[in-house]
Amino acid sequence: MKLHREGYTIMAVTAIVLILINLGILYLLPDGYWIPRIVLVASIVIFFLVVQFFRVPSRVVHMSDRQVVAPCDGKVVVIEEVVESEYFKGPRRQVSIFMSPLNVHINWNPISGVIQYFKYHPGLYLVAWHPKSSTENERTTVVIRNTEGVEVLFRQIAGAAARRIRWYVKEGDKVEQSTEMGFIKFGSRVDLFLPLDAEIKVNLQDKTVGSVTVIAELK
């Protein structure tokens, strides 16, 4: 299993802390039987959960100029028409995907094109499904324009547990669909803002596979 570079430090620190805890238990309870074994089993489970969070999946992708693919693994929690006030300053179709701590937390570019706009916003850490998390939480805003001149905006949004957003793009970069653009550590969400005439291909509560699931067809 390939592991993401964003997790190297966390995995190393977790391993060291768990080893020290287990050594401490053995030192304090040299004649113990169940407690050291219970702590050891719990430590293995915790380390496994941390490692699986940073796994890098192997996926077969099919790029298309007309399709918008899921920027992350997760579950569709919002499909609605909204007014996007930061960049478009007008109505757009919003599709939001919630990422649980058990999901892969890599973020992918939903379309190919050029980064027209990028901005990082420090902010709060409301739970990721809170309606105001899209505008008040720590987040990034990224706008990609494809070769047809269609622009798609998406936001990485930190949740209550996620306080470290990573991004690997900047304004002017040329990006390809389904390539890595960033990472959010622990529970979080990604919002997509699409043209009103985009044909939505998912439903509420659908599970998405990042870089693979088709979210919408562009006109």
Could you read off the pLDDT of 41-55 as tens digits, one per residue?
A: 999 999 998 888 888
Q: Does residue 217 carry a pLDDT above 70?
A: yes
For residue 70, the tally of other CB atoms under 10 A from its CB is 26
Structural domain spans, the chain: 5-53, 67-217
* Segment 88-138, tens digit of pLDDT: 999 999 999 998 888 888 999 999 999 999 999 987 666 655 555 566 678
Predicted confidence at residue 30, as pLDDT, reads 81
Residue 166: strand pairing partners: 183
Reported CATH class of domain 67-217: mainly beta
- Residues 6 or more apart whose Cβ sits within 8 Å of residue 204: 76, 77, 78, 79
CA dihedral 74, 114, 167, 197 (to 10 degrees): -30
CB 19 within 8 A of CB 40: no
Contact 68, 216 (CB under 8 A): yes
The pLDDT value given to residue 67: 97
Q: Residue 194: its pLDDT value, please?
A: 98
User: pLDDT of 130-172, one tens digit each?
Assistant: 555 566 678 899 999 999 999 999 999 987 665 678 999 999 9
**Predicted TM-score of the model (pTM):** 0.84
Q: Which residues are designated catalytic?
A: 188
Give the pLDDT of residue 126. Answer: 64
Residue 219 has pLDDT above 90, yes or no: no
- Gap between the Cα atoms of 9 and 13, Å rounded: 6
The pLDDT of residue 31? 80
Q: How far apart are CA 19 and CA 6, in angstroms?
A: 22
**Digit-coded pLDDT (tens) for 164-214:** 789 999 999 999 999 999 998 766 889 999 999 999 999 999 999 999 999
User: Whole-angstrom Cα distance, residue 203 to residue 77?
Assistant: 9
